[in-house]
Amino acid sequence: MEATLETVALYSLKLAYEVEGSSPILRDDPAMDRYQREVFGLLVRQADVGAIQFKLGECLGLACGALGGVMGRELQRLRAEVHSAQTLEALNAPLMELKGYLKDIL
C-alpha cells in the first residue's frame, strides 16, 4: 500500500506542478519529501487512516485545482471515496481506482 500511496502523491504533484519543457517531478524531488514511501509506511503500520487521508488530500487538492472541468470533478469524486474510508482495508479499493485514474490522465 505504501508504494501506491507514494505513486498517487507523485502523480498528483506532477499534475499540479509539472510544466511542459521543465524537469519532471521524480520521487526524489524535494516536493515529495512529505509524501515518500517511508512516510506512508509509518502511517500504514500505525493504521492511521486519518493522517493518510490528510496527506493524500493535500496532494489531491492541488491536482484538482490544476485540472478543473470534468476531469477535476472526477478526481474530486475519487478523492471523496478515499476520504470516506474508515479502515486501511476500505481505503485500498478507492486508492487503486484513484491511482489508475491519475495514471490515465498523465
Average pLDDT score over the chain: 93
The cell for 12 is: 498528483
pLDDT score at 104: 94
Domain that includes residue 47, residue range: 2-105
Q: Read off the pLDDT of residues 44-86 as tens digits, 9 standing for 90 and up.
A: 999 999 999 999 999 999 999 898 888 889 999 999 999 999 9
Note the pTM of the prediction, 2 decimals. Answer: 0.92
pLDDT score at 20: 84
Number of domains in the chain: 1
Count of Cβ atoms closer than 10 Å to residue 52 Cβ: 23
Strands (E), the chain: none
Question: CA–CA separation, 47 vs 89, rounded Å?
Answer: 10
Count of Cβ atoms closer than 10 Å to residue 45 Cβ: 9
Q: Return the percent helix, strand and coil in the chain, to nearest 5.
A: 80, 0, 20
pLDDT score at 68: 82
The residue behind cell 521543465 is 22
Q: Is the predicted pLDDT of residue 19 greater than 90, yes or no? A: no
Rounded to an integer, the average pLDDT of 10-14 is 94
